[in-house]
Amino acid sequence: MTAAAPVHIPVLLAEASAAVLAGAPAQGAVLVDGTFGRGGHSRALLAALPADARLVVFDKDPQAIAVAHALAGADARVTVCHTSFADMATELARLGIAQVHGVLLDLGISSPQIDTPERGFSFRFDAPLDMRMDTTRGETAADFLAGADERQIAKVIRDYGEERFAVPIAKALVAGRQQGQPVRTTGELARLVAGAVKTREPGQDPATRTFQALRIHVNAELADLEQGLAAALALLAPGGRLAVISFHSLEDRPVKTFIARESRAEVDRRAPFAPPRRPLRLRAIARVKPGEAEVRANPRARSAILRVAERLA
């Protein structure tokens, strides 16, 4: 019997879609779904957009891109870009698009990625330690752990996993490598981390933070986020909306900081009546969390936060 394909349930689907659509004009709208995934948010946007609208979708994952191409084959309004949303400015320039009216980013990892063992994202399965969102390029998590020194490994696990046992974990990884036993699978990594982490957080596997850290590092997620936010701000037309869904503080913090910074004008205190050195460019609109019903239906939604901002003139 063939196992059912992993299903992704879009988080805050109605709220995120409505937020982006609120900045779209009645005619000629151009929107960006920077994290296509399995297309849940894109389909909701398309259902509300007129025939002359355009939706440009991005994703690193070849499996997601295959789904996106199928959607584009059925709907001429869709254009597919197999790359990170960090490359938004370059890709849209290539397409001849100078401005957009909305950008939606649903950060982090999708359920199909977690639930597909061979992707190596989850310690629930023993599989090759890959963790790349784009399996066509870049080094795997196993490659990184095989080549990085103890200091580099500890820094990644501490900075991206907020793991206080980062140094013992790094020492154990390097010691195993020196003994001819490098970590190559998710199961091996989970067991090693369990031996190095001396305390347990209730309801959380000791490997959770390390797996998160390696995934963020391998996929340059935070660097992509900073670049993507800057590109979205530059591309948004006045009145256009930026909507970002994050799932943990490492994602949400830079989004919150970015919106707060761009929602304030920077003035020279020595010349208070002079034009601002950095003008006011965004207006914070909303901070939305899933309701109880959504969390009951989809427990993975429980930590999600949607932040919405509007581009000013």
Domain-embedded: residue 125: no
301 and 242, same structural domain? yes
- Count of the separate structural domains present in the chain: 2
Confidence at residue 186, expressed as pLDDT on a 0 to 100 scale:
97
Where among 218, 248, 267 does a domain terminate? 218
Domain-embedded: residue 8: no
230 and 102, same structural domain? yes
Domain-embedded: residue 118: no
Confidence at residue 270, expressed as pLDDT on a 0 to 100 scale:
67
Long-range contact pairs involving 23-26 (C-beta distance under 8 Å, separation at least 24): 23/101, 23/102, 23/236, 23/239, 23/240, 23/241, 23/310, 23/311, 24/49, 24/53, 24/101, 24/102, 24/240, 25/101, 26/50
Domain-embedded: residue 64: yes
167 and 18, same structural domain? no
Domain-embedded: residue 179: yes
Amino acid at 165: F
CATH number at residue 158: 1.10.150.170
Amino acid at 174: V
pLDDT surpasses 70 at 276? no
How far, in Å, CA of 290 to CA of 257, rounded?
21
230 and 82, same structural domain? yes
Domain that holds residue 207: 135-218
Confidence at residue 269, expressed as pLDDT on a 0 to 100 scale:
65
199 and 156, same structural domain? yes
232 and 212, same structural domain? no
192 and 167, same structural domain? yes
Where among 177, 195, 218 does a domain terminate? 218
306 and 258, same structural domain? yes
Sheet with 305-311, strands from edge to edge, namely: 78-81, 54-58, 30-33, 100-106, 236-246, 305-311, 282-288
**Average model confidence (pLDDT) across the chain:** 93
292 and 237, same structural domain? yes
Confidence at residue 208, expressed as pLDDT on a 0 to 100 scale:
95
Q: What is the pTM assigned to this prediction?
A: 0.91
Confidence at residue 112, expressed as pLDDT on a 0 to 100 scale:
85
Domain-embedded: residue 29: yes
Where among 183, 200, 218 does a domain terminate? 218
Domain-embedded: residue 130: no
CB count, 10 Å around CB of 307?
22
Confidence at residue 1, expressed as pLDDT on a 0 to 100 scale:
38
Identify the weakest region by mean pLDDT among 3-12, 121-130, 255-264, 300-309.
3-12
Contacts of 242 (CB under 8 A, 6+ apart): 102, 103, 105, 229, 232, 233, 236, 259, 282, 308, 309, 310, 311
Confidence at residue 267, expressed as pLDDT on a 0 to 100 scale:
63
Q: Kindly state the average pLDDT of the residues 251-262.
A: 97
Coil vs helix vs strand at 94: helix
CATH number at residue 273: 3.40.50.150
pLDDT surpasses 90 at 222? yes
Amino acid at 114: I
139 and 70, same structural domain? no
Read off the pLDDT band of 115 (50, 70, 90).
confident
The string of pLDDT tens digits covering residues 137-186 is 999 999 999 999 999 999 999 999 999 999 999 999 999 999 999 999 99
207 and 65, same structural domain? no
294 and 228, same structural domain? yes
Domain-embedded: residue 3: no
Q: Kindly state the average pLDDT of the residues 299-303.
A: 91
